[in-house]
Amino acid sequence: MTKRELPKHVYRQRNGIYFQRRGWPSRKFQSEFGTAEFWKEYADILAGRAEPKRINVRNFSALIRNYRQSPRYKRLKPRTALDYDKYLDFFLSIMADANPANMKRKDVIRLRDANAEKPYFANYSLRVLRVVMEHCVDLGWTDSNPAKGVSELKTEKQEREPWPQELLQAYRDACPLGTRERLIMELCVGTGQRIGDVLEMRWSDIQDGGFVIRQNKTGKELWVPILPELQAALSAASRHSVFILTNERGINRWSYRGASQAVRNVRERIGAERYDIHSWRYNAACELVEAGCSDDLVASVTGQSPAMVLHYTKKVRQKVRAIEAQRKRSGK
């Protein structure tokens, strides 16, 4: 059989006969040349009826798309998934067409160090890249994870502390009852819950004078009584939605970004830039310790583990114990 005998765009290769035309996917014929089945295959290809040959592209775009469809990604908490998405989109913006199998440890380090002036971004992107490359290993696209074992940039970590009482009062003075800014603060301090759980709170969660809470991160179920300060804020709030904290239109829950920005605006006005929206959970834990509560009682409100109760309250705990020690020392 010579090329002259073959129809247009059909070529004989060492391992079979192929349809090859510029701009079209290459396709191997399954039937023997000259048979009726061969000519049907040929006609189907020209008419566009043949199933196109799948081209398996292995780049970061394909890897991230596969990761986002995987159980590993779908198991993430909604807030964590939002955080991951920011870094996944960053990877797509700089290396969508690159083959992840070619990534080396030196490339990971270079990527980390390129963002050294933003250590939080550099370190978080490294964590997400480590997860994505582990998924790459699981797919069989590469044998090792080049991001595993790469250390994060060292930073001077500033320990989060509870808001001082004078700044807490300044916040209340700046945000009267009936405002969302006041309500979110009273919910955080009054219940001792994470901001993500507070933003999910609904009016139907109030039962028997307390909040029924299922923590997103731990899955723990709690019932937390409502304090008078929080009750006053709830009574002054308008009800436009099933959610207690709503967006500007009052029809859906307040987003983390919107709530964080609103609180940041107040912090800047009253000089509380050092203390953020997450520090209110510290206030709740510390107030409980100062009231004489045991770690078990603190955890019954906050839902924290014993280790986290200690972490959140270590400074105030030292102060409380020092007062007790000095009182004993003076014989009082």
DSSP of 277-292: TTHHHHHHHHHHHHTT
Tell me the CA distances in angstroms from 27 to 10, 20, 45, 56, 109, one per residue in order: 10, 7, 9, 14, 42
pLDDT over 50 at 10, yes or no: yes
pLDDT over 70 at 3, yes or no: no
pLDDT over 50 at 144, yes or no: yes
pLDDT over 80 at 159, yes or no: no
Report the candidate in 120, 123, 102, 99 with the shortest Cα–Cα distance to residue 111.
Answer: 123
- pLDDT tens for 27-85 read 888 888 889 999 999 998 888 876 655 445 789 999 999 999 999 999 998 878 889 99
Report the candidate in 211, 244, 242, 207 with the shortest Cα–Cα distance to residue 227.
Answer: 211
Residue 309 parent element (H or E): helix 306-329
Q: What is the pLDDT of residue 5?
A: 81
**Residue 183 to residue 169: CA distance in whole angstroms:** 14
DSSP 3-state of 234: helix
Indicate the domain borders of the chain.
3-47, 60-138, 165-326
pLDDT over 80 at 258, yes or no: yes
- pLDDT tens for 286-315 read 999 999 999 999 999 999 998 999 888 888
pLDDT over 80 at 325, yes or no: yes
- pLDDT tens for 275-286 read 999 999 999 999
What number of other Cβ atoms are within 10 A of residue 184's Cβ?
A: 25
Length of the chain (residues):
332
Could you tell me what percent of the chain has a pLDDT over 70? 96
Over residues 1-10, mean pLDDT: 76
Q: What is the pLDDT of residue 51?
A: 62
The residue among 156 and 224 whose pLDDT is bigger is: 224
Choose the CATH number for 165-326 among 1.10.443.10, 3.40.640.10, 3.40.50.300, 1.10.287.110: 1.10.443.10
Q: What is the DSSP letter of 27?
A: E
Q: What is the pLDDT of residue 157?
A: 66
Q: What is the pLDDT of residue 332?
A: 66
Over residues 156-175, mean pLDDT: 90
**Residue 284 to residue 190: CA distance in whole angstroms:** 7
pLDDT over 90 at 263, yes or no: yes
**Residue 223 to residue 205: CA distance in whole angstroms:** 9
Q: What is the pLDDT of residue 55?
A: 46
Q: Which of 26-35, 95-104, 312-321 has the highest mean pLDDT?
A: 95-104
**Is residue 211 within 8 Å of residue 198, measured between CB atoms?**
no
DSSP 3-state of 214: strand
Q: What is the pLDDT of residue 277?
A: 94
Q: Which two tokens stand for residue 172?
A: 């209340």
pLDDT grade, residue 259 (50/70/90)?
very high
